[in-house]
Amino acid sequence: MINVKGLKKSFKDVEALKDVSFNVNQGEILGLLGENGAGKTTTLRILATMLKADDGEVVLGGINVANNPEAVRKKIGILFGGESGIYDRLTARENIEYYGQLNDMDSASIKDRVDHLSRIFEMDEYIDRRAGKFSKGMKQKVALARSIVHNPEIMLFDEPTSGLDVTAARVVHKFINSCKEEGKTVVFSSHTMSEVEKLCDRVAIIHKGKIIEIGTITELTDKYQKSVEELFVELVGE
């Protein structure tokens, strides 16, 4: 479903990505694990068509990102960073509807979809209230619902739990698991080992712009005879 081959990206003299390659199968959750500055956000921005690679290739759902970014955008749901970017003056419903409009959905489908999302995210109580006074967890639910209003096949989440408290982080974890149940393909980045271990089918360890290891948790722990945490420390080093 996702094929990434030989990505390179530099910002002036900073080589953010030197060689990033990986594949993700349909219905799979891949965790991109790496410390700060490893290249997680840059990788996800390229996959999300927000940034052009200097070299390499990304194919999402059979479509080459460089050739047809518009078509790719219809297939993907994106959530970046801990900052939800919810408009305080709009209601939860209006926030989600707005994204539906941006994704060229007609108003009837938007309405159906918002009702559905409000139900599954248990937002019915506050769906028509302005988002300004929402808790972080409530805002995060709106942000998640908004990112999938167009029912994309592929989700790209950059550190979706960073800056969230335990309850709000749990909402995100539950959501990622429900994506899997629906057969969606998910790539999310994290610097938290336990989160990756809990949610992912496979983990890719990224370090200084390169994927240095990829596999299921069992494959990696068998190969190195170490816990993922010890392995991460060993591979990434000090």
What's at 81, amino acid-wise?
G
Q: Which is nearer to Mg ion, 126 or 157 (CB)?
A: 157
Q: Which is nearer to ligand ADP, 42 or 140 (CB)?
A: 42
Q: Which does 37 bind (CB under 5 to 8 A by kind): Mg ion, ligand ADP, none?
A: ligand ADP
> How many C-beta neighbours within 10 Å does residue 192 have?
14
Helices (H), 2-83: 40-47, 69-75
> How many C-beta neighbours within 10 Å does residue 9 have?
22
As measured in angstroms, the least distance from the Cβ of 112 to Mg ion is: 34
In the complex, which residues of this chain contact ligand ADP (CB under 6 A)? 11, 14, 16, 34, 36-42
Q: Which does 36 bind (CB under 5 to 8 A by kind): ligand ADP, Mg ion, none?
A: ligand ADP
Sole window of 12-20, 35-43, 109-117, 147-155 interacting with Mg ion (rule: CB under 5 A): 35-43
Strand-pairing partners, residue 19, are 210
What's at 199, amino acid-wise?
L
Q: Which is nearer to ligand ADP, 80 or 121 (CB)?
A: 80
Site string for Mg ion, 191-210 (x = CB under 5 A): --------------------
Q: Which is nearer to Mg ion, 34 or 100 (CB)?
A: 34
Q: Which is nearer to ligand ADP, 65 or 123 (CB)?
A: 65
Binding status of residue 41 toward Mg ion by CB under 5 A: yes
As measured in angstroms, the least distance from the Cβ of 47 to ligand ADP is: 12
97-156 residues in contact with Mg ion (CB under 5 A) are: none
The answer to whether the beta carbons of residues 16 and 10 sit under 8 Å apart is: yes
The DSSP line for 111-179 is HHHHHHHHHHTT-TTTTTSBGGG--HHHHHHHHHHHHTTT--SEEEEESTTTT--HHHHHHHHHHHHHH
Question: Residue 211: enclosing H or E segment and its boundaries?
Answer: strand 210-215
The residue ranges that bind Mg ion (CB under 5 A) are 40-41
